[in-house]
């Protein structure tokens, strides 16, 4: 497949070799199309037997030469032939770009439809506009989204903080998402609980106390869907099991390791106890869990309180406990969460992703490779990579802790997350903002631009930069 894709990309040009974009539509039933079909069979076998890691099927040549802008519309046609039909070949970076292009197409369609509707039926806003107060983010957002039609949710998002002058060209919405997910996952709302050891969030079994709570859970799913749709990476800590359930992939015992490490360890130990040791436990088929300091119980099977745990039924006990954690205990909560997410992303290319890829799409990657960021940074306004203040800037940043690096990212981009593909995909720009000055650095977070005065000394640059990034929340400096 790799060689077939490379050959398909090669063309001849006078005096030099050039490459072109490849397409299954163009090659029809040629070796490239046949290779993709054969690999689809191999991938299906691998999915069933896990012979090799799924990433082995990512095809470098296809990912390098695919023309995504052509492939997405073709894939959306009833009988379109496209590389998108073979998602196992495509890397997470390529899939995220497919989803971005898909979202742009839908946004443009909604924009055009809004103008036509406005012509015949009055004023229609071409954007999904949210006006929210910082001290009432969840309530304001929940109220406004509840009034929107499904077609409105497919419009481009614009956020305005009440009483502030920030114009949303992308930066305001990034801050909005970071702030509101921090709220909905906090103990204040009591929807999720975080494992003290793994720090992953999972649904509280007793979280459904009112219709308001269900609406807040659905809002959480909508927010994650809107973030994906608008290409915003979130700082959230959800376990792999969430992404599996969103994509309809069965969860396993091992998924319990992230949700409740202590419970996972305890259930695993049961497999190694002798019959006498199991009898000594005097355990029945009842789940026990702490909910806000209250000890709660739930029968794992009908008559569980009268069913003793033995060596013969311990496998059933473990499977029933895992099913309770991932399904029974959060059935209503997850149904609302998935409903909110699917309202935005249910029909998108997201459904062709693997759970691990969806997690990358939502949260970004964890690799703070600032060397890659330095190599890919663009300079503007008279700066170059050899300008003294730029060399001083990177000298300082290389000495930053990971925490300070994330603060710098947040200051310059309104997000401290790393996009799929790493920091080289950030399109980071450092632009000159005048000569030596006492002014702080500022940023155009909508465009990932850091505005840096040409400070005369490295000490002054360090002091001014640290002051700026430690006070970056809000748009007073933007």
Domain extents in the chain = 2-90, 102-248+332-347, 253-331, 370-469
Model confidence band, residue 25 (pLDDT cutoffs 50, 70, 90) = low
In whole angstroms, what is the distance from residue 191 CA to residue 185 CA?
7
State phi, psi for 192 to the nearest 5 degrees: -120, 160
Tokens of 450: 């850091």
Name the active-site residue from 84, 330, 363, 446: 446
Question: What percent of the chain lies above the pLDDT cut of 70?
Answer: 90
Q: What is the pLDDT of residues 342-356, one digit of tens each?
A: 999 988 999 999 999
Question: CB-based burial of residue 25 (10 Å sphere; 0-12 exposed, 13-18 middle, 19+ buried)?
Answer: middle
Is 26's pLDDT higher than 70? no
Average pLDDT over residues 163-181: 82
CB 444 within 8 A of CB 171: yes
Model confidence band, residue 30 (pLDDT cutoffs 50, 70, 90) = low
Is 393's pLDDT higher than 70? yes
Helix%, strand%, coil% for the chain, nearest 5 = 55, 10, 35
Residues 6+ apart with CB under 8 A from 338: 221, 245, 246
Based on C-alpha coordinates, what's the Rg of the chain? 26
Of residues 340 and 15, more confidence is placed in: 340
Is 152's pLDDT higher than 60? yes
Model confidence band, residue 428 (pLDDT cutoffs 50, 70, 90) = very high
Model confidence band, residue 164 (pLDDT cutoffs 50, 70, 90) = confident
CATH of region 370-469: 3.30.2410.10
> What's the number of CA atoms in the CB half-sphere (13 Å) around residue 358?
25
* pTM for the model: 0.84
Tokens of 410: 């947040």
- CA quadruple 356, 361, 367, 372: dihedral positive or negative? positive
Q: What is the pLDDT of residues 263-298, one digit of tens each?
A: 999 999 999 999 999 999 999 999 998 877 788 899
Is 445's pLDDT higher than 90? no
Query: By three-state DSSP, how is residue 153 classified?
Result: helix
Q: What is the pLDDT of residue 415?
A: 83
CATH architecture of 102-248+332-347: Alpha-Beta Complex (3.90)
Query: By three-state DSSP, how is residue 113 classified?
Result: helix
Neighbours of 170 (CB within 10 A): 20
Lowest-confidence segment of 244-248, 321-325, 343-347, 388-392 by average pLDDT: 343-347
Lowest-confidence segment of 15-29, 112-126, 148-162, 316-330 by average pLDDT: 15-29
CATH architecture of 253-331: 2-Layer Sandwich (3.30)
Tokens of 391: 């060399």
CA distances 24 to 102, 108, 146, Å, are: 19, 26, 42
Annotation says 330 is catalytic = no
Write down the mean pLDDT value for the chain: 88
Q: What is the pLDDT of residue 478?
A: 47
In whole angstroms, what is the distance from residue 412 CA to residue 389 CA?
17
């Amino acid at each position: 497949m790799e060689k077939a894709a490379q050959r398909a990309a090669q063309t001849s040009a006078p005096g030099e070799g050039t490459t072109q974009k490849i397409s299954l539509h163009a090659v029809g039933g040629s070796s490239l199309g046949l290779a993709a079909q054969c690999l689809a069979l191999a991938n299906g076998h691998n999915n069933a037997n896990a012979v090799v890691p799924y990433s082995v099927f990512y095809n470098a040549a296809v990912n390098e030469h695919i023309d995504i802008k052509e492939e997405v519309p073709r894939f959306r046609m009833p009988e379109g032939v496209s590389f998108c039909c073979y998602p196992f070949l495509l890397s997470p970076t390529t899939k995220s770009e497919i989803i971005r292009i898909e979202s742009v197409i839908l946004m443009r369609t909604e924009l055009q439809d809004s103008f036509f509707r406005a012509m015949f039926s009055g004023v229609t806003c071409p954007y999904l506009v949210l006006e929210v107060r910082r001290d009432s983010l969840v309530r304001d957002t929940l109220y406004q989204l509840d009034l929107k039609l499904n077609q409105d949710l497919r419009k481009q998002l614009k956020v305005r903080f009440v009483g502030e002058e920030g114009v949303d060209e992308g930066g305001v919405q990034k801050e909005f998402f970071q702030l509101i997910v921090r709220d909905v996952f906090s103990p204040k709302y009591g929807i999720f609980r975080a494992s003290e050891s793994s720090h992953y969030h999972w649904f509280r079994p007793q979280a459904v106390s009112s219709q308001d709570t269900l609406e807040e859970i659905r809002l959480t799913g909508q927010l994650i869907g809107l973030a994906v749709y608008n290409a915003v990476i979130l700082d959230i800590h959800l376990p792999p099991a969430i992404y599996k359930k969103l994509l309809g992939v069965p969860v396993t015992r091992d998924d319990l390791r992230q949700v409740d490490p202590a419970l996972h360890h305890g259930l695993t130990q049961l497999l190694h106890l002798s019959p006498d040791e199991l009898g000594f436990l005097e355990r029945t088929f009842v789940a026990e869990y702490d909910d806000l300091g209250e000890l709660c119980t739930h029968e794992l099977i009908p008559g569980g309180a009268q069913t003793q745990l033995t060596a013969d039924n311990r496998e059933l006990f473990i499977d029933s406990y895992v099913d309770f954690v991932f399904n029974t205990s959060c059935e209503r909560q997850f149904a609302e969460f998935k409903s909110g997410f699917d309202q935005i992303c249910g029909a998108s290319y997201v459904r062709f992703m693997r759970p691990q890829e969806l997690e990358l799409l939502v949260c970004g990657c964890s690799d703070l490779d600032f060397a890659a960021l330095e190599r890919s940074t663009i300079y503007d306004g008279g700066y170059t990579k050899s300008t003294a203040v730029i060399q001083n800037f990177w000298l300082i940043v290389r000495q930053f802790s990971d925490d300070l690096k994330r603060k710098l990212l947040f200051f310059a981009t309104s997000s401290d997350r790393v996009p799929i593909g790493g920091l080289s995909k950030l399109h980071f720009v450092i632009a000159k903002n005048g000569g030596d000055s006492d002014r702080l650095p500022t940023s155009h977070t909508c465009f990932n631009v850091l505005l840096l005065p040409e400070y005369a000394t490295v000490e002054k640059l360090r002091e001014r930069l640290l002051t700026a990034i430690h006070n970056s929340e809000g748009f007073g400096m933007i």
